[in-house]
Structure 1
Amino acid sequence: METRTPLKSLNSDTRTYVIFINKSSRRARAWWLDFKGKPVSYGDISPNGTLRMNTFLTHPWVFRVTENGAKLLANRQEVYYPTLSENKDIITVNITTPVYSLRECCLMVIRRLVKRRDLNRLEIPEMLKHDLVTVPDLSKELEIMNS
């Protein structure tokens, strides 16, 4: 049976240095997961912008689109665990957009174009209306990933 690494910071023993580079076309919010697994915002990174960070090997990071909470990837991973930098070199971490499903893309576009109060007026299945009012929630996503 495979043991999972808990989605929280474990210790601050081994320091490492990273630079997060936002390669997506959207503002990216950087979230550090604290020692209880709670997300702590480290601010937004503009498209093509950077965030330099002194962090530790057991400190996980996640990234979301600032405007809508959609997932972003860090070095192609949903959760980024820093690696050891050799010779105190800074490790480059690329923040990119994943390939969203057609459904996810449509939900994002409709949320952007239709006011929340008008969603019930749409002639679409109730299940889709429910999905439209249920916006991404990082804390809930982390709970699911930890279970």
Structure 2
Amino acid sequence: MDEQEVHNETRSVRSLNANVRTSVNFINRTKQSARAWWLDYSGHPVSYGDIGTNELLSMTTYLTHPWVFRASRNGAKLLANQLGVYMPTATTEYEEDEDPKFLDVFITTPVYSLQEYCLVLIRKLVQEEDIGRLEIPEALRGELRQRPDLLKELEVINSNR
């Protein structure tokens, strides 16, 4: 591995170790099912399933294990405690039986720009094969054809680090 590869490796969003354990409740506050993704030691997303509206996923995880959330239906970005990539924090409170208290982490919908919101709505209403028939600029047709892609988003996050 050359110096550039080492530099890129240390910059990627990924799990680093399993040294300090913590417990979290991922609570879905959106109006849609949310998919939980843990980023493994290589930075690859690993699905931990869907969390229904107002439901929770209780998880034991580690301080250096990043998590991301996406809408189950269309892959749209969701936030965890207002963050695109959630890094767990240490559990500092304990139950009476000395088990650690679970920290609540709220999954919410980000504030989309008007254009982003319109693209999500149009994708919901128009079949992909009918996008070419819409009387809109070609640039918007191209954006409509681009579906949310977690792997591409992670590449962008890593390139900005």
Q: How large is the RMSD of aligned CA atoms in angstroms?
A: 1.1
Per the alignment, residue 44 of structure 2 pairs with 38
Q: How does 1:46-57 map to 2 (within 5 A)?
A: 46-57=52-63
Hey, what's the Cα distance between the residues in 1 that align with 2:77 and 2:35?
10
- Report % sequence identity: 57
Q: Is the radius of gyration larger for structure 1 or structure 2?
A: 2
Per the alignment, residue 60 of structure 1 pairs with 66
Hey, what's the Cα distance between the residues in 1 that align with 2:58 and 2:78?
18
Hey, what's the Cα distance between the residues in 1 that align with 2:12 and 2:158?
7
Alignment gaps of 5+ in structure 2: 1-9, 95-99
Shift of 1:6: 3.3
Aligned pair 1:22/2:34, yes or no?
Answer: no
Q: Secondary structure at the match of 1:18?
A: strand
Shift of 1:89: 1.5
Per the alignment, residue 112 of structure 2 pairs with 100
**Match among 74, 90, 98 for residue 80 of structure 2:** 74
Per the alignment, residue 101 of structure 2 pairs with 89
Letter of the 1:84 partner, please give it. A
Alignment gaps of 5+ in structure 1: none
Q: Secondary structure at the match of 1:120?
A: helix
**Match among 119, 125, 146 for residue 113 of structure 1:** 125
Hey, what's the Cα distance between the residues in 2 that align with 1:17 and 1:119?
44
Hey, what's the Cα distance between the residues in 2 that align with 1:5 and 1:28?
27
Shift of 1:5: 6.0
**Which digits, 9 at most, give the CA deviation of each residue in 1:25-46, with x for residues without a partner?**
1110000000000000000000
Q: Secondary structure at the match of 1:64?
A: strand
